[in-house]
Amino acid sequence: METNRENRTRKHIFWQIVAIIILNAMVITAIGFVYENTQTLSSIGSRGQEVRQIQNKLKELGLYKGSVDGIYGTATQKAIRQFQKNCGITADGIAGSKTLKYLGLGSGSTSSTNGYSSNDVYLLARIIGAEARGESYTGQVAVGAVVLNRVQHSSFPDSIAGVVYQPGAFSAVRDSNWNVAPNDTAKKAARDAINGWDPTGGAIYYYNPAKTSNKWIRTRPVITTIGRHVFCK
């Protein structure tokens, strides 16, 4: 017959085992949560929310025709590879940190300014630096404002990445200037544009009369001229 002491010992061991099982379950759950939310879902076989974000961005750019299912398959890989070619970066089909940053995603994507992520700000600074190099500070902010006006316009993609990488939208995306990191002035101009400064008065187009041969763009109603750029509706 068990003594009270033996009975207490058995109960103590039982509850220790239960506590260990519960603790292990909690650790496994936490590890799974962290893994799912922090891993870079960037290649064939990856799954999760980040893949869905990648697929959504690629859809906005017209590069991905499949379903947004969170599965990084061959269709997603092909779209990423084409996006990388368009951006002039290594076309390996893997959405690594650089590709994610170009898409406006990645580890620096937390909200920073008026709902735009830090990667959005960086991408806007890049297009300002490439398109408005040599322009006055106001002229640089103006280029950023046009991008943001397009984001809000029903005729254009509804994200900075979508506008910047829209086929044929900005010639600088296809030249060597695109690979030059934006300077502090371009970054400041991007922030000022995001904060609401629009020197263009709502323009959604601009062009350099000395360089463009596009007859259609010259028919657009002119709002203002800043430096070498004519801004229009």
Domain boundaries along the sequence of the chain: 1-38, 49-103, 111-232
- Architecture in CATH of 49-103: Orthogonal Bundle (1.10)
CA 57 to chain centre: 8
- The CA-atom distances, in angstroms, between 89 and each of 11, 48, 156 are 63, 25, 25
Burial 52-77 (b: 16+ CB within 10 A, else e): ebbbbbbbbbebbeeeeebbbbebbb
CB 37 within 8 A of CB 25: no
Pick the more confident residue, 62 or 91: 91
The least confident of 94-98, 120-124, 135-139, 176-180 is: 176-180
pLDDT by residue (tens digit) across 36-52? Answer: 343 455 788 888 888 99
Average pLDDT of 191-218? 93
pLDDT, residue 233, reads 93
Cα pseudo-dihedral 74, 77, 79, 82, rounded to 10? -130
- Give CA–CA dist 19/5, Å, rounded: 21
| 121 within 8 A of 106, measured Cβ to Cβ | no
Top mean-pLDDT range of 32-36, 95-99, 171-175:
95-99
Residues 199/145, Cβ–Cβ less than 8 Å = yes
Phi first, then psi: what are they for 57, rounded to 5°? Answer: -60, -45
Residue type, 42: S
Inform me whether the pLDDT recorded for 35 exceeds 60: no
- Backbone φ/ψ region at 188: left (φ over 0), alpha (ψ -120 to 50), beta: alpha
Section 5-10 average pLDDT: 62
- As to burial, measured by CB atoms within 10 angstroms (0-12 exposed, 13-18 middle, 19+ buried), residue 23 is exposed
> What number is the average pLDDT over the span 126-155?
95
Give the pLDDT confidence score for residue 63 in this predicted structure.
86
Whole-structure pTM value: 0.62
Whether the pLDDT of residue 183 is over 80: the answer is: yes
Mean pLDDT of 195-224: 94
**Beta strand pairing status for 111-113 and 116-117?**
antiparallel
Query: What is the number of helices (H) and of strands (E) in the chain?
Result: 8, 5
> What percent of the chain is modeled with pLDDT above 70?
79
- Distance (Å, rounded) from C-alpha 121 to C-alpha 146? 14
Q: For residue 44, give the DSSP letter.
A: T
Arch. (CATH architecture) of 111-232: Orthogonal Bundle (1.10)
Distance CA 58, CA 103 (A): 8
Tokens 């030249």 — which residue?
175
Measured at the alpha carbon of residue 143, what is the angle toward residues 175 and 132, in degrees to the nearest 5?
Answer: 45
Share of the chain above pLDDT 90, in %: 46
User: What pLDDT, on the 0 to 100 scale, is given for residue 30?
Assistant: 42
Which pLDDT score is estimated for 232? Answer: 96
